[in-house]
Chains A and B, each alone.
Chain A
Amino acid sequence: MWQWLFKLSSPKWFYTISGQLMPWLIAITSILLVIGLVWGLAFTPPDYQMGENYRIAYIHVPAASIAMGCYYMMAGMAAAFLIWRIKMADMVAKACAPVGMTFTALALFTGSVWGIPTWGTWWIWDARLTSTLIMLFLFIGVMALRSAYDSEAAGAKACAVLSLVGVVNVPIIKYSVEWWNTLHQGASSLSLSNTSANPPEIWLPAFFCWLWFVWFLSDCHYFAYP
C-alpha cells in the first residue's frame, strides 16, 4: 500500500498509469453520463412540490458535492506539499483549482436558476450561498496567486498556505443550513424505502451523475497537467 502510494507520487509513473487508464475513464464517463442524465431527466417522477423543476438537482447537487470535495483534495495536497515537499502533490493541487472553480460556478448558477421559481429570487445572502460564493473566490484566488509569482516554488508555497487557510470554509458550507436559519433547505435524507419522501428512484440518478462527475474530475486532472 505505502509502496504503491510512494510510486504514485512519481510524476513519470503517474503519467504512465493515467495514460493507460484514460480510454477506460472516458468510456465509463460517457456511459455514466448517459445513464444519469437520461434517467434523471426523463424517467424519475416529478417532485410533489417542485414539479419538474427539481430535475436541475441532478446537476446541482453533484456539482456542489464535487466542488467541496475538490477543495478538500486541494487542501490535502497543499498540506502534503508543505510537509513532505512532494512535487506531485503540488501538481494535483494546481489541477484542483480550475476544476473546483468550474463545479462551484456550476453549482451556483444551477442553484440560482432553480431558485427563481422555487424561492422567488435567484440570489439571497444566506449562509449556504454566501459561503459557496466565498469558495468560488478562493479557487479563483489560488489560481491568481500562483500566476502572480515569477518563482514557481514561491507561488506553490503561497497557494498551499491559502488553500489551507480557506479549508475552514468547507465545513461551514456543509453545516451552514444547520447552524443558521437559511433559505437553502437542509440535506435531504435518502432512504431505500419506496414509501419515503426520497425513494431510490429519486436519488439513484443523482448517484450516477455524481459518479460521472468523479470520472470527469479524474479526466480534468489528467488534462490539467502541463
Chain B
Amino acid sequence: MGRFDSFSDFLAMGGYASYVWSAYAFFCCHTGI
C-alpha cells in the first residue's frame, strides 16, 4: 500500500501509530469531517 508493505504496516506507522493517528483523529473531529 503506497510506501508500506501491507495495510497493517500502514496502520502501525513505523511504531508511531498512536501519535500519527491521534493527530489525524483530532484533525477530523476538530474540523467536523
Q: Residues of A with Cβ closer than 8 Å to B?
A: 33, 37, 41-46, 51-53, 55-56, 59-60, 63, 102, 105-106, 109-110, 113-114, 116-117, 216
Q: Is the interface of B mostly helix, strand, loop or mixed?
A: helix
* B3 x A113 contact (CB < 8 A): no
Q: Is the interface of A mostly helix, strand, loop or mixed?
A: helix
A105 and B23 alpha carbons, distance in the complex (Å): 12
Which chain A residue shows the least CB distance to B9? A52
Neighbouring B residues of A117 by C-beta, 8 Å: 16, 19
* B20 x A55 contact (CB < 8 A): yes
What is the total of A-B residue contacts with beta carbons within 8 Å? 63
**Number of contacting residues on B, CB 8 A?**
19
* A52 x B26 contact (CB < 8 A): no
Neighbouring B residues of A44 by C-beta, 8 Å: 3
* B27 x A114 contact (CB < 8 A): no
A55-B20, A117-B19, A216-B31 given; A46·B26 CB < 8 A: no
* A106 x B30 contact (CB < 8 A): yes
* A106 x B19 contact (CB < 8 A): no
A45 and B13 alpha carbons, distance in the complex (Å): 12
* B31 x A51 contact (CB < 8 A): no
* A52 x B2 contact (CB < 8 A): no
The 9 closest A-B pairs by CB, nearest first: A42-B2, A52-B14, A53-B16, A52-B13, A43-B2, A110-B23, A56-B23, A113-B23, A51-B14
A109-B26, A113-B19, A117-B19 given; A53·B4 CB < 8 A: no
* B3 x A59 contact (CB < 8 A): no
What are 20 of the A-B contact pairs (CB < 8 Å)?
A41-B24, A42-B3, A45-B3, A46-B3, A51-B15, A53-B16, A53-B20, A55-B20, A56-B19, A56-B24, A59-B23, A59-B27, A102-B30, A102-B31, A106-B30, A109-B30, A113-B19, A113-B23, A117-B16, A216-B31
A42-B2, A42-B10, A46-B3 given; A53·B19 CB < 8 A: yes
Which chain B residue shows the least CB distance to A115? B19
Neighbouring B residues of A56 by C-beta, 8 Å: 19-20, 23-24
**Chain A nearest Cβ from B30, distance in angstroms:** 5
